[in-house]
Amino acid sequence: MFKIGPRTEESKLTSWYYEIDRRLLGGVLLMIFIGMLFALSAGSVAAERIGQPWHFFLVKAIPFYIMGFVFLFGSSFLTKKQVLFLAALNLGVGLALLPVTVVSPHMIKNSARFISFGFFNIMPSDIMKPGFVIMTAWFLAQMKQRYGESIFFNREAWRFDKLFSWVWYLLVFFIVIAIIFRHPDFGTSILYLAVFSAMIFIAGLPLSVLPFIGIGVGLLGVVAFFTLGHVQRRVISFVTGTGDTYQVDNSVDSIRHGGLLGAGDDAFVKQFLPDAHTDFIFAAIAEDLGAIMACGLLVLLFYVFRRLVKTAMNSRDLFLTYAAGGTAALFGTQICINMLSTLKLFAPKGMTLPFISYGGSSLLAYCLLFGMLLALIREDKWKK
């Protein structure tokens, strides 16, 4: 009679299951499920408004959800070197496509930030977010390795003849910001600046520099106000309460109509909300399910954010510290901008709610970013 001994070798899938940050992955999957649910609910209202079947946006979103799952799970199996290669490829494609939005853009809602591939449109500034966060984290880690702790005030770190130099990084970064700003897309410009600022402060930039960064962002806002007509109109409408406040007024009315427990089948205000399935999806959720469930969604978003911050604080690898910190900054800032616009506390910026809002480029970018981050967490936690 044979006795089966203990298992000595694990399959790659088994190893992945025990090594992965299941709490973070679970939070991401729950957000995606909620997004799918309201791509059907809020999306049906938006589809009927434009004369399409109720399932129009859900059917369009299904290929992106499938690709999103492939990106999320596939990239989570990668090694650190493979993550770096994928991030560099992602950033390279984004940087290559970004100038096309200047030469031959596809206009949507008076914005030249899209490129059309016939059956679908992509937004380069959206799809390159994972590469930007991961490669910036790698750049900061390499700078620390080469120039020590003082990477911001070391003369060697600012030399033109060095491959790893602030001069070359900032040159590319500000060209990218200039193109995004020109689209015009003031919101995404601010998002990239916020993430970059957070990452360099994590890397050790003194807080005494913060006022100067604030002044720079303020000057950018002034330039946007006087050069971008839609920014000027939205700011004036927000400050004075006059002008075109149709979207934000309906957003607030949707939340009020939902009450504590939701309006259910009596939810009708969202029918007049133009972007109920994208920018203002939180208002549609609040009207359908009520303030209690909407606050539950906020708790879920905060839980994922907190998990990212905890990872950044506890990681052994400096590269992962910067990558997790940058992901937290991107995720948290985008949520704040979306929430402030939805609640009429800030001028509308056309910013989606990560994983929840309908939008292929945004969903794929976040799935890829979180998948790569999960891979880095696995290697940091289990590899020596």
Q: DSSP secondary structure string, 184-228?
A: T-HHHHHHHHHHHHHHHHHTT--GGGHHHHHHHHHHHHHHHHHH-
pLDDT of residue 136: 97
Residue 46 lies in a domain: yes
Residue 293 lies in a domain: yes
pLDDT of residue 264: 67
What totals of helices (H) and strands (E) does the chain contain, helices first?
A: 16, 3
Residue 313 lies in a domain: yes
What H or E segment, with its residue span, contains residue 116?
strand 111-116
Residue 2 lies in a domain: no
Which segment of 13-17, 21-25, 265-269 scores lowest on mean pLDDT? Answer: 265-269
Mean pLDDT taken over the chain: 84
The stretch 183-193 carries a mean pLDDT of 86
pLDDT of residue 269: 58
Residue 6 lies in a domain: no
Structural domain tally of the chain? Answer: 1
Which segment of 72-76, 251-255, 290-294 scores lowest on mean pLDDT? Answer: 251-255
Which segment of 140-154, 192-206, 348-362 scores lowest on mean pLDDT? Answer: 348-362
Residue 1 lies in a domain: no
Residue 8 lies in a domain: no
Q: Strand 106-108 to strand 111-116: parallel, antiparallel, or no bridges (unpaired)? A: antiparallel
Task: List the domain range (segments joined by +) for residue 149.
Answer: 13-382
- Whether the Cβ atoms of residue 121 and residue 115 lie closer than 8 Å to each other: yes
For residue 114, report the phi and psi dihedrals to the nearest 5 degrees. Answer: -115, 155
**Given a cut of 60, is residue 7 above it in pLDDT?**
no
Q: What is the pTM of this model?
A: 0.89
Q: Which two tokens stand for residue 251?
A: 């957003």
Rg (CA), the chain: 22
Residue 226 lies in a domain: yes
